[in-house]
Structure 1
Amino acid sequence: MKILFIACLHPKTGNQTTAERIRSYIEEAGHSCELRDAGEFHSPADVADLVSQNPSFKGALALHLFKAGRFLLDLQIPCGVIFGGTDINEDVKVEHKRLVMEKVLLKVRFAVAFTETMKEKAESYLVSQKTNIYVQPPGIQTEGTEHFCWAKFLRSSGVSIENVDELRVFLLVSGLRLVKDPLYLVKVFSEWHRKNPMNIFVIIGPKIDPVFSVEVETVVKSTAGVFLAQERSQRELHAAMKRCFALVNSSRSEGMSAAILEAMDLGLPVLARDIPGNAAVVQHEVTGLLFSTPQEFVHLSQRLLLDHELRERVVKNGKFYVEKHHSVKQEQKIYQQLVDILH
């Protein structure tokens, strides 16, 4: 069976990584899967025309209920959808988007949520009748075998710091867009850096929102102890993570952060903003640390620096959590079973 899979495929983002991983599951089950960027299409009619010109498509799948799912509405073939995160956490607040997402859910044969909380939100806000919503956390498999040198990175950024090997790098992995709020901690971290120059903050990720990206670049250039890096391949990113002191997430809203899960799997402690999507993964002082303000972030970071027992505990528990709940084999099994529903 040939499947059309629509997703937002901005390079080196979590969406692209997730879509590529799910496509591999479909193809390993003996199907063919054509992955297309949602940005290629302007309306559901565009996708309907594509399918009519290529009748070999027997089913369709979309990742993100609004951004990609809306393009399924005019199709006459069986469809399924996977929630993204901003669809349930943010888009649902916008009436016209909510109405579109309800239509998508009523059309598809199945939907997949990453957490029980996402499923409950969808059932509460979007559907008035029973919909087949399955819960399947994303599978995590890290690499990180390549060498990554922060000294080389900093020199390429025009920065000269002695004793680079002693630096404590707090890494924020995020596409540059407002909902990820990469500037949330910048001011308070810079103040902390001035007192403790060995602590630096690095933001790494693609420029998704061009206007906001310019703002981020401008702020970072004038802020001591804070650096901005271009996106890297997944292997390079994982290698960089392994050389960091901690992984940071300061998003205003998350579905399920792949970077957090990857950091846990790599043995890196996580400091995450206390929002529902992060709290679904990070149990405070058990699998990571949750902060509600920039000042609390600094306080918890200081604790992590001084309390070696705390650091060892969250690292150990975080890795165990990922191994238990984010199995690639289990994810593969579920998606292969779901694709059979499109027959």
Structure 2
Amino acid sequence: MKLYQREWRSDKVDRLFVRDRSVYNVIRFYKVHDNKQINSINKCQLNYYRCCFEMKVLLLSPLVDFSGNFATVTRIKKGLEKKGLRCFLKCSLKLSRSEDLKDTLDELGIDIILAVHVYKSGKILIDVKIPYILILGGTDVNELTSDHEKMDIMTKAVNNSRHIVAFGESLAVKFKSCWPNYDPMNVSIIPQGVEVFPNSFSITSYIKNHAKDIVTEQEGQPNCLYGCDTDLLIRQLSKSECKIFTIVGGIRSVKNPLFLIKTFSDWRMKQGKVTCWLLFVGAHQNDTFFEKFKEEVRRCPGVVYIPALSTEDAHALIQDSFALVNCSDSEGMALAILEAMALKTLVIARNIPGNTAVVDDGQNGIVFDTPENFIEKVENLLEAPEIIKRITEEAFNYISNKHSVANEENAYFSLLTKYC
């Protein structure tokens, strides 16, 4: 990193290259009111900022369009850039060899790396000499640690890292159980910041425009939509009669999209709840699993799948849904849950550690154990709008207090400047 070498002189503070306006204004205040104070109080602080503002940070993550990881790392990058750091974002899946990463680091002059996913990013970081910080993704710690080969690779990546970041307490506890010898002083919990940007997206218009794809079923089309009885869904949407239970996330086994489908469809038909719909939104990331999922959707009335939406479209859909549902087998911290809370949409989440770290049953959301338990709780909620209002207000307050974007920005900024 290139550092400023010139000697401190308070009379030249106005010419100093300071990108952070808040710091600049503090310096100007002391310069005007007390020249001695700026020398005694701000000299160390200003030298600190001098070091920071030419720092180059590489953010490394397995980037899948419209995924939670993509949204998270993009938000962190934007926050660090606001602080004056120069940031570069790369997909770890496209840097398949350590040599590819080394070339990137040399070309960009990177000072420090902030990497998401201990395995997918960690495997190309093992031999890197530049300091790096690992952010736990969820799947890496919850699922891949049982694979001995991948565990060996992750252990090397962990041992060579300067610091570990977990989104929540449950993930930090899981990490410590997997790597008990890692210095606990170098493990931090930084909750995800949440920001939402719902636009004018209309699910009614979307399904009207794409329902023809159910008939054509042309493989490879980017906007294929699967389901049955979509004519009924369109009629109900047009009259604002239906209640949509939305599941946002990649169609892959760890998200377990098959968990609720049959039970939900059977309940809907047997109990006459034909205005209730289960809507899946997400990219398919495994062709074999997606085929199995698609066939199940086609067999079950009341269940519809649409491909991944842009962030703004997804936020608008969540805002218009009766509930945001999570039925994953494991989670780090599901961003869609946090976004739903920020949008004042009811969250109904499966009872797994990553979810219950955020969702307090009956307080800021609903937690269920089995598909039958899900149906039981939904039936109660359909008759209790006042309970839903109380829960969603509490969820909104929780997000405002615990998942501030500003706090997230400050935490990562402090962490990076500590090691570089």
- For normalisation by structure 2, the TM-score amounts to 0.78
By percentage of residues, which structure has more helix?
2
Q: Which stretches in structure 2 are left out of the alignment for 5+ residues?
A: 1-54, 213-229
Q: Which of 1 and 2 has greater Rg?
A: 2
Aligned equivalent of 1:128 = 181
Amino acid at match of 2:93: G
Q: 1:174-214 CA distances to partner (integer Å, 9 max, x unpaired)?
A: 10110001111000111122221100110001112222122
Aligned equivalent of 1:73 = 126
Q: 1:119-167 CA distances to partner (integer Å, 9 max, x unpaired)?
A: 12212211414150110110001111x2232322333325212332111
* Larger relative contact order, structure 1 or 2 (CA cutoff 8 Å, min sep 6): 1
**Residue 88 (str. 1) matches residue 159 (str. 2):** no
| Structural mapping, 1:118-157, within 5 Å | 118-131=171-184, 132-144=186-198, 146-155=199-208, 156-157=210-211
Distance 1:196 1:73 in 2: 54
1:267 aligned counterpart, secondary structure = coil
Distance 2:415 2:261 in 1: 43
Aligned equivalent of 2:58 = 4
Distance 1:196 1:280 in 2: 31
**Residue 180 (str. 1) matches residue 255 (str. 2):** yes
Amino acid at match of 2:177: S
Question: How many correspondences in the alignment?
Answer: 341
- Give the deviation of 1:25 after TM superposition: 2.0
Structure 1 residue ranges (4+ consecutive) displaced by more than 4 angstroms after TM superposition = none
**8 Å Cα contact 1:169/1:201 also seen in 2:** yes
1:74 aligned counterpart, secondary structure = coil
- Give the deviation of 1:250 after TM superposition: 0.5
2:231 aligned counterpart, secondary structure = coil
- Give the deviation of 1:80 after TM superposition: 1.0
Counterpart pick for 2:314 among 213, 237, 240: 237
Aligned equivalent of 1:46 = 100
Q: CA RMSD in A?
A: 1.5
- For normalisation by structure 1, the TM-score amounts to 0.95
Percent same amino acid among aligned pairs? 32
| Structural mapping, 1:184-199, within 5 Å | 184-194=259-269, 195-199=272-276
Amino acid at match of 2:150: K
**8 Å Cα contact 1:154/1:160 also seen in 2:** no
**8 Å Cα contact 1:101/1:126 also seen in 2:** no
Aligned equivalent of 1:308 = 385
Q: Which stretches in structure 1 are left out of the alignment for 5+ residues?
A: none
Q: 1:64-84 CA distances to partner (integer Å, 9 max, x unpaired)?
A: 111112211111111111111
Amino acid at match of 2:231: S
Between 126-135 and 174-183, report the one with greater CA deviation. Answer: 126-135
Distance 1:157 1:269 in 2: 27
**8 Å Cα contact 1:169/1:246 also seen in 2:** yes
